[in-house]
Amino acid sequence: MPERTHRTQAERRERTRTALLDATITCLVELGYARTSMQEICARAGVSKGAAQHHFADKAELMAAAVAHLTTRLAERNVPEASEVPPGPERVGAMVDLLWRSYSGTLATAAMELWIAARTDPALAAAMRPVDKALARSTLDRLAELVALPRTRLETVFWLTVNLTRGLALDAELGGDPHRREQLLREWKRVATALCAEHAEDTEHPENAEHGGSIRGAGNSR
């Protein structure tokens, strides 16, 4: 069979759509939400404004799609393979590092721009809430597979980590002290590991065995 050299119409549409969404994220990071215009997005994507309107009627519709696109890319970064994280108690610190990288990179900067804009844009806020919840749920489900903790304890450590890293990411955007951020992350990894170790110690007692596994069960026994 001869090799196919022409893209189908569906493939061309998807390629154009992805280019527009990627350009939107780049504009959000480099220009901020207020200065991100359809004209600028089209220029960066190499797409005419008329062609863009076949995919998105206006900026609001494009931003709603960008939220979902951004969430998908963040989810890909938030889901490590078991082989990518160390076994035993060190796994908790590795998870904190993973979430910090996810919530402090360029994708997180774009998300921050959208959340700030959503404060005064009800339509944007409505578009962001469900995908943000879906991202948190998928990340928690994956972490639950890697770190054997009760769901309530895992959620506590997860949300404390997310809110800390989001705050530190904002501090970085405002030119805060990088050494202080590193110190706070180290301290939180110590505290988070201790919180998980508390559960590990509790489950060593027979009367608490029904509560489930421990962080030690997530890796190789020593």
Based on the fold, state whether residues 33 and 82 are members of the same structural domain.
no
Cα separation, 201 vs 181, whole angstroms: 30
Based on the fold, state whether residues 133 and 193 are members of the same structural domain.
yes
Residue range(s) defining the domain that contains residue 168: 67-218
CATH of the domain at 35: 1.10.10.60
Say which range, 72-86, 154-168, 179-193, 203-217, has the weakest mean pLDDT.
Answer: 203-217
Answer left, alpha or beta for residue 90, where phi above 0 means left and psi between -120 and 50 means alpha.
Answer: alpha
The answer to the question of residue 28 being in a domain is yes
Q: What confidence tens digit (pLDDT) does each residue in 51-107 have? A: 898 899 888 889 888 888 887 887 777 666 666 677 777 888 888 888 888 777 788
Q: Which of 12, 33, 57 is the last residue of a domain?
A: 57
The answer to the question of residue 62 being in a domain is no
88 versus 47: the higher-pLDDT residue is 47
The answer to the question of residue 110 being in a domain is yes
The answer to the question of residue 195 being in a domain is yes
Average pLDDT over residues 41-50: 94
For residue 191, what are its two tokens?
């505290």
Cα separation, 50 vs 29, whole angstroms: 24
- Which pLDDT score is estimated for 78? 63
Based on the fold, state whether residues 31 and 110 are members of the same structural domain.
no
Contacts of 77 (CB under 8 A, 6+ apart): 101, 102, 105, 107
The answer to the question of residue 194 being in a domain is yes
- Which pLDDT score is estimated for 109? 87
156 C-beta neighbours (distance < 10 Å), count: 14
Q: Which of 57, 80, 105 is the last residue of a domain?
A: 57
Domain count, the chain: 2
pLDDT band at 201, cuts 50/70/90? low
CB 146 within 8 A of CB 218: yes
CATH of the domain at 93: 1.10.357
Alpha helix stretches (DSSP H) within the chain: 9-31, 38-45, 49-53, 59-77, 90-104, 106-118, 122-146, 151-173, 178-202
The answer to the question of residue 93 being in a domain is yes
SS3 5: coil
pLDDT band at 222, cuts 50/70/90? very low
Average pLDDT over residues 128-132: 84
pLDDT at 209 over 80: no
Based on the fold, state whether residues 153 and 135 are members of the same structural domain.
yes
Q: What confidence tens digit (pLDDT) does each residue in 132-161 have? A: 888 888 888 888 888 778 889 889 999 999
pLDDT at 180 over 70: yes
- CA nearest to 46, candidates 65, 69, 74, 26: 26
Based on the fold, state whether residues 53 and 101 are members of the same structural domain.
no
- Which pLDDT score is estimated for 79? 63
Residue with tokens 């903790």, as numbered in its chain: 149
pLDDT at 215 over 80: no
